[in-house]
Structure 1
Amino acid sequence: MEPRKPKNIFVQGAISAGFIADSIQKHSSRQDIGGHSIFLGQVRADLIEGKKVAAIEYTTYEEMALEKMHEIREAIFAKYPLSCAHVYHSLGAVQAGEICLFVFTSSAHRKPAIDACNEMVERLKAELPVWGKEIFDNAAYQWKENK
């Protein structure tokens, strides 16, 4: 089998429900898949020092992050019998309530899909060089006007 190449995982802004639904629907033709596992990360409107988070601005060094993502993905494929694994992460501003991370794994059986998805999410959070800066309510009006 030919080695996998690094894939671009980054999406500008929030990941839409339509994008997620389309990704799931595309797998309906795969009759070798018996289980999918999906993780959706959503921006929370946390209260930090009395200020409410309105959005998070995500940044990265793309080349470095894509190389690390490729390493993680290859390790997950080596460990679990997956049919496929997809990761999408937002860059730029994502408002509270919107999706910023979409991890989708599939295999012939549910347990490997679930275990691989969980491990992928944990490794992404620990290892992927993506940073989020909170944009607070008082700054949200400026951010929306400049958008």
Structure 2
Amino acid sequence: MQTEATRALITALYDAYRAGDMPTVMSSLAEDIDWHSVAQAPLPWCGAWRGHAGVSAYFAALSGICTITAYDIERILADGAWATVLASIRVRYHADGSEAGYTKVDVLRVDGGRVAEFREYYDTAAIQRDLGRANTARSD
């Protein structure tokens, strides 16, 4: 039963995010959520964020650099309180308007009907390369 509830919550969360419904996204998160954008490259949104204020700062840092123009879910794998989301995204960099696509994996843990832990994994070296190219194109 918990697996189905986890899958339903995660599906609703991603549907809200893709629709731009940030109030619903934030209400799906525990007040003390532990949020990590795991990276090997220094990107403004990477690192550990805590609570709603931290998640809001994460999204502000991300939206300061790019706009996510597509977010496609390939699969949601749920097991008890845990879910893994396989996805692909497309972003447009503000610096020069260039676009790029990336695959990513999100791992989430649900507790008390809300997301208590979020970790995202993606090719940060590719994003750093593309962002550097966008910034260089802007300064030319």
Provide the TM-score with structure 2 as the length reference: 0.33
Which structure's CA Rg is the greater one?
1
Provide the TM-score with structure 1 as the length reference: 0.32
**Higher RCO, 1 vs 2 (CA within 8 Å, ≥6 residues apart):** 1
